[in-house]
Structures are given as C-alpha cells and as structure tokens.
C-alpha cells in the first residue's frame, strides 16, 4: 500500500475561519495540534504506565506531571512521531491513542531560534524505525538503586525511549528545554514541567 505524502503546515500569521493566529506563524486548525508541538499522554493504568508514574514520583514530580507516561512530536494535526514499541514510528493520534488523556505543549516563542521546532521534527522523523529502548527504562531503576552512575547507565541513542528521542530532537534543533539534564535522564514529566513550553490544551 502506498503512503500518502504529507507536507508541513503552511506558515501564516493570520486568523481565519479554519485557523487561529499563532505567534510562531504556524496555522493551527481550531487551536489544535500543529507541526512541532509536543504531546504528552497520561497513563492508561497498565503495568508499565504505573511503573513510570511511580518512578517520576520518586524523583520528585507531583501530579499531574508524574501522570504523564509518553511523549511525541506532532507532524500535523493527527500524526505523531515518537519512540514506540516495537520501533519508532509516525502514528495516528485518532487511531492509536484513543481514550488516552492528552496534553499539548508548544515551545515558547522567546526560546525559539529560526525553525527550531521544524528542525526538531525532521530530526525525529529521521530516527524512524529504531528499536524501542526497553533497557533504557530498566536503567532508570538501576540509577536509583546504584547511585554510582550519573544519569541512565543503559540508555543509548540507537534504541531510544519516548522522551529521550524528543529531547534529543529539540536539542538538535537548537532548543535545550532541560539545561544540565542529559537526554538519557529526561522523562515525560520533565516535558510537562519545562518552562520552555506553554500548555495549550
């Protein structure tokens, strides 16, 4: 089956019936997701989700930040690029994330350099089809029980987990949302609490 080619949203600073004005110049249908936005997903109550919530609470995050267990970067108003199982991929928000609580984050204009969010998105897309970083998740717990390691001892860029991939992408685009924190130590809660993003919805 052939995949339809999709393009980035056209830039426009004007408001209209099908969109609202956006300070970055992106056209955002009805105030919804646009290319380069970060989307956080709440826990679905499953085993892995509960473990991620518990870890984020242990390192000091409170609700609702601790309840965020997955992040991706929007390609358009439906497709989300992210590190998922079994391999990183572009997935439909409406088909693959039905029933999940969602929080949309937008990089603040004052922190953006040129097309930072679009560069980040293109970089994330270039990491498609990488195996999911299961060992990285285990590494978080190793760093808690064995404090001789700084950061996540088992994380690597060849097998990213969700927040590692998106943090890596934004830094490649020229925005560092987590000064002093390695990509391998970033969690979904870090995105939710970062002062570099506005919560849109």
3-state secondary structure (DSSP) of residue 165: helix
User: In the prediction, which pLDDT does 58 show?
Assistant: 86
Give per-residue pLDDT as tens, 9-28: 433 333 322 333 333 344 44
CA distance 148 to 78: 42
Domains of the chain listed by start with CATH number: 29-199 (3.90.1720.10)
Q: Cβ(22)–Cβ(13) under 8 Å?
A: yes
Say which range, 79-88, 111-120, 164-173, 176-185, has the weakest mean pLDDT: 111-120
Q: Which residues contact 45 (CB under 8 A, 6 or more apart)?
A: none
Give per-residue pLDDT as tens, 149-167: 656 767 777 888 899 999 9
User: In the prediction, which pLDDT does 107 show?
Assistant: 86
Structure tokens at 115: 């097309």
Provide the percentage of residues in the chain whose pLDDT is more than 70. Answer: 77
Mean pLDDT of 107-123: 78
User: In the prediction, which pLDDT does 14 show?
Assistant: 31
Cα angle: 168, vertex 173, 179; to 5 degrees: 60
Whether the pTM exceeds 0.85: the reply is no
Q: Cβ(119)–Cβ(172) under 8 Å?
A: yes
Mean pLDDT of 43-70: 90
Q: Are strands 68-74 and 79-82 parallel, antiparallel or unpaired?
A: antiparallel
């Amino acid at each position: 089956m052939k995949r339809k080619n999709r393009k980035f949203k056209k830039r426009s600073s004007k408001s209209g019936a099908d969109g609202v004005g956006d300070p970055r110049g992106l056209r955002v249908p009805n105030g919804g997701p646009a290319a380069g936005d970060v989307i956080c997903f709440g826990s679905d109550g499953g085993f892995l989700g509960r473990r991620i919530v518990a870890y984020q609470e242990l390192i000091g995050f409170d609700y609702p930040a601790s309840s965020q267990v997955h992040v991706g970067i929007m390609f358009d108003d439906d497709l989300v690029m992210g590190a998922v199982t079994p391999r990183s991929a572009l997935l439909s928000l409406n088909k693959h994330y039905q029933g999940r609580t969602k929080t949309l984050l937008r990089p603040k204009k004052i922190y953006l350099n040129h097309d930072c969010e679009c560069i980040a998105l293109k970089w994330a897309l270039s990491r498609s089809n990488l195996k999911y970083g299961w060992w990285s998740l285990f590494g978080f717990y190793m760093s808690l029980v064995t404090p001789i390691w700084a950061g996540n001892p088992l994380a690597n860029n060849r097998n990213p987990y969700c927040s590692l991939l998106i943090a890596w992408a934004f830094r490649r685009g020229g925005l560092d949302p987590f000064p002093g924190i390695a990509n391998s130590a970033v969690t979904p809660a870090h995105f939710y609490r970062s002062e570099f993003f506005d919560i849109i919805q």
